[in-house]
Chain A
Amino acid sequence: MRLFLTFLLALTLAACAGPQLRGTGDLGLIIERASGHVTLVDTTTRQPYARIGGLGDLSHASAVYSRDGRYAFVFGRDGALTKIDMLEAKVVGRVIQSGNAIGGSISQDGRIVVAQNYTPGGIKAFDAATLELLSEVPAEYAPGRFSKVVGLADTSGNRFAYALFEGGEIRVTDFSDPKRPATQRFPAGSQPYDGLVTPDGRYFLAGLFGEDGVAMLDLWQPEKGARKILEKYGRGEEKLPVFKMPHLRGWSVAQGKAYLPAIGRHEVLVVDVATWKEVGRIPVRGQPVFVMARPDGRQVWVNFAFPDNGRMDVIDTLAGKVVHAFEPGKGILHMEFTPRGENVWLSARDDNKVLIYDTTSFARVGEIAADNPSGIFFTTRAARIGF
């Protein structure tokens, strides 16, 4: 026992020389898409504290967190899944799990990480501790035909909902027995391009590119099947070209209303989440990509597809209109709010900076250098359904 205590003391002393004991609640990472790096950041000091390289092709990369916020799982475009220790600031696991991936999710109990793949199309489940492959579900929608998987979202009971772009269906795969997944299939509509789950985990929505509307599945009553909402939002009107697909993950619910990017029109759609009927449209200055609510729901921030990707519009949900419009930088690809929303971090890809704004005064309060930054992911995602 004494020996053990001495050992502990030695460990403590060693720890004093290294990073100090700390929590993870105010940490995050920035994807540097072109160079295969992530920069680890502290949202309290608004400073980076480490940078990790060798992560491969990180264009369109995203990250999810273990429930303690200590580990980030980064999904690279090249199919790599990398596990990063946020405290030790190092890679602790890495597998090349497919040829072409688009993101992933972590299960409700935090034990399973699921990657969604374009090539070969399907999903794969990994042990979150070891990154050992547990099982896979190919996105075969017709004999010998495989679809790209989009919109993967975690839901209750270690189930994952997602959609098939070519297959036109929503699927729910249950990993409660992780080596023997069970999948349900629901016809959804033409070309689902992304999906989301509502903050309560009840509804999965898949945005449709091939037709006007959104497919919705009630995960509490999946036997009722997927139905279409917002079917008429663009009927009879010519669509504007879409130079970048909107992203639905990170979507917004505020004051009983959902705010969604319209596709092919420069509007944010407002939907009553009790009836799922459209109750308004807010004109904005481009094709929306991310439409994200500040955590309190008072504001919704919108960025845009090329060529309007230098702009940001801020909607006040009480006023129901854009109250602040500005040009923070070049190539604004993503945004992330601090845990309670006093700041928002914006990645300005073409300025090689992440810009930090106060969401009340709209003043810039800081910036961080980063090489072609894209996604910004804070550890508060660890506790949110669908993130």
Chain B
Amino acid sequence: MSSNRLVFALFWVSTATAGSAQPAIAGEPDAVRQKELVRLVRQDCGSCHGMTLGGGLGPALLPATLHDKPAESLVATIYYGRPGTPMPPWKQFMSEAEAGWIVQKLMSGFPQ
């Protein structure tokens, strides 16, 4: 169930990242949901990571700081949190596919 979905999300992220030249990807959140996710990341993730994602109590989430990190582990960090740190799990607020979309956008430059 949820681990299968995660595997799917990871697959989706790696495809999405590899094919970043493609304009739209099947399974991408619709425009309304994308707007909600962007606001969630900027405003609520931003309370620790900074509204510009340049870092705060949590680390920076800019392409330059994320480029050497595997997308799968970033998706898992969003979805399940990171025990031992203040990073909480966000799974009650988004699907794994949506976490994957966020990671893809973070790595390529997050929308305003």
- Residues of chain A having any CB pair with chain B under 8 Å: 33-34, 57, 59-60, 77-78, 100, 102, 118-119, 148, 150, 165, 191, 193, 209-210, 241-245, 306-307, 331, 349-350
Contact = CB atoms under 8 A, between A and B. Distances in A.
Contact of B51 (A33, A244, A350): A33
B55 A245 contact: no
Name the interface size band of chain B. Answer: 10 to 19
Given A60-B50, A100-B55, A193-B57, 10 more contacts: A33-B51, A34-B51, A57-B52, A57-B54, A59-B50, A118-B56, A241-B81, A243-B44, A243-B88, A331-B43
A102 B56 CA distance: 8
A50 to B, nearest CB: 24
Interface in B47-81: 47-48, 50-52, 54-57, 81
B51 A77 contact: yes
B51 A307 contact: no
B27 interface: no
Given A193-B57, A306-B44, A307-B93, A242 B50 contact: no
Given A59-B52, A77-B51, A241 B89 contact: yes
Contacts of B46: 59
A148 B48 CA distance: 12
A212 B77 CA distance: 23
- Specify the main secondary structure of chain B where it touches its partner: loop
13 contacts: A34-B51, A57-B51, A57-B54, A59-B46, A60-B47, A77-B52, A102-B56, A193-B86, A241-B81, A241-B89, A243-B44, A245-B47, A306-B47
A342 B43 CA distance: 31
A125 to B, nearest CB: 22
A320 B24 CA distance: 55
Nearest to A100: B55
Contacts of B57: 102, 118, 148, 150, 165, 193, 245
A191 B86 contact: yes
A331 B51 CA distance: 15
A245 B45 CA distance: 11
Contacts of B81: 241
B88 A100 contact: no
Nearest to B93: A307
Interface of B: 43-44, 46-48, 50-52, 54-57, 81, 84, 86, 88-89, 93
Given A241-B89, A245-B86, A118 B52 contact: no
Contacts of A307: 93
Given A60-B56, A102-B56, A118-B56, A242 B51 contact: no
A285 to B, nearest CB: 16
Contacts of B86: 191, 193, 209, 242, 245
A33 B56 CA distance: 15
A177 to B, nearest CB: 32
A119 B50 CA distance: 13
B43 A349 contact: yes
A108 B57 CA distance: 28
Q: Which 8 A-B pairs have the closest CB atoms?
A: A241-B88, A59-B51, A306-B44, A244-B47, A57-B52, A243-B88, A209-B86, A242-B88
Nearest to A309: B44
Contacts of B56: 60, 77, 100, 102, 118
Contact of A244 (B44, B52, B54): B44
A245 B48 contact: yes
Contacts of A193: 57, 86
A60 B47 CA distance: 7
Nearest to B51: A59
A362 to B, nearest CB: 27
Contacts of B93: 307
Given A102-B56, A306-B44, A331-B43, A77 B50 contact: yes
